[in-house]
């Protein structure tokens, strides 16, 4: 069961970097995101019921979700119980938070992120990595926040002192900041379903959290590495949202 729990935004701890990648509340406390730098989404015949599709297949495409430029600066945490995914010895427990007041359900966002991190072509393909979605109040290693452009800019600036320009996501000390604009609208360089672009966001930023740096295109027609800043251009590569290919080979490119 997934509920929404309004909690203070946890202070991120650890290393970070900036990227151009890509229910009922139980209690309420608030915290305010840091201020942004000054500069820088008749009877018909009876037919058999349609089988229920997996939740990843039912994930929303580009929708009419509003993307306000600025939000409350407070966050609602998805109260969730998830299973460990991946067999790696390094277990990363994470919480998902959505800026309060947005048209994005924290519970549904947490489910979608959990599906992304559990996918067979994701980072759990690495023998050393495992993930587990946890809820508010549980011990965790990182926080994934979905925030309006202004709040995302504030968090990225506070965490790594880089200007994300109202457009980009970032990995900061202790977690990942996802720009709502990218989560809802995707990117003009990525032609796949919006769920796939969200997978690119999560896999790219989580890749940074795992220690991976930016990479470039390995050659025309080849899949773009997930660590490539695909929003800035593909340089002949094909858009790709996953770290590994279908055969379990890590998709890489030259350092960038």
Q: What distance in Å separates the CA atoms of residue 7 and residue 83, rounded to the nearest whole number?
A: 22
Q: What distance in Å separates the CA atoms of residue 203 and residue 5, rounded to the nearest whole number?
A: 25
CATH level 3 topology of 3-24+66-212: Collagenase (Catalytic Domain) (3.40.390)
Read off the pLDDT of each residue in 106-131 and give the average, rounded to a whole number.
Answer: 97
Length, in residues, of the chain: 256
* pLDDT score of 80: 85
The pTM is what? 0.78
Read off the pLDDT of each residue in 108-124 and give the average, rounded to a whole number.
Answer: 98
Task: Pull the structure tokens for residue 78.
Answer: 């998805």
* pLDDT score of 211: 96
Domains of the chain, residue spans = 3-24+66-212
* Residue 62, pLDDT above cutoff 70: no
* pLDDT score of 17: 59
Task: Pull the structure tokens for residue 81.
Answer: 């119980």
Q: What is the pLDDT of residues 213-227, one digit of tens each?
A: 999 999 999 999 999
- CA–chain centroid gap for 244, Å, is 17
DSSP 100: T
Read off the pLDDT of each residue in 84-90 and give the average, rounded to a whole number.
Answer: 94
Closest CA to 17 of 234, 162, 206, 187: 162
* pLDDT score of 46: 41
Query: Worst-scoring range by mean pLDDT, 71-75, 77-81, 128-132, 214-218?
Result: 77-81
* pLDDT score of 239: 98
Phi, psi (degrees; rounded to nearest 5) at 98: -125, 135
**H helices present in 103-236, as ranges:** 106-118, 149-160, 180-185, 194-209
């Amino acid at each position: 069961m997934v509920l929404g729990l309004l909690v203070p935004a946890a202070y991120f701890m650890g290393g970070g970097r900036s990227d151009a990648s890509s229910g009922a509340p139980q209690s309420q406390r608030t915290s305010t995101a840091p201020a942004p730098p000054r500069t820088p989404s008749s009877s018909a015949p009876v037919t058999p019921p349609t089988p229920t599709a997996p939740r990843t297949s039912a994930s929303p495409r580009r929708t009419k979700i509003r993307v306000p430029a600025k939000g409350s600066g407070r966050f609602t945490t998805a109260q969730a119980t998830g299973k460990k995914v991946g067999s790696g010895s390094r277990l990363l427990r994470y919480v998902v938070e959505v800026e309060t007041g947005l048209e994005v359900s924290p519970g549904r966002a947490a489910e979608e992120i959990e599906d992304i991190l559990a996918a067979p072509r994701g980072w759990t393909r690495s023998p050393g990595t495992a993930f587990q979605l946890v809820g508010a109040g549980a011990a965790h290693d990182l926080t994934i926040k979905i925030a309006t452009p202004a709040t995302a800019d504030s968090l990225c600036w506070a965490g790594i002192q880089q200007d994300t320009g109202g457009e980009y996501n970032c990995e900061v000390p202790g977690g990942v900041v996802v720009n709502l604009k990218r989560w809802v609208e995707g990117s003009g360089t990525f032609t796949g379903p919006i769920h796939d672009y969200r997978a690119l966001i999560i896999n790219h930023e989580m890749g940074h959290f795992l220690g991976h740096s930016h990479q470039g295109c390995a050659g025309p027609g080849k899949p773009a590495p997930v660590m490539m800043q695909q929003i800035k251009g593909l340089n002949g590569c094909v858009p790709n949202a996953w770290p590994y290919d279908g055969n379990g080979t890590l998709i890489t490119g030259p350092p960038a």
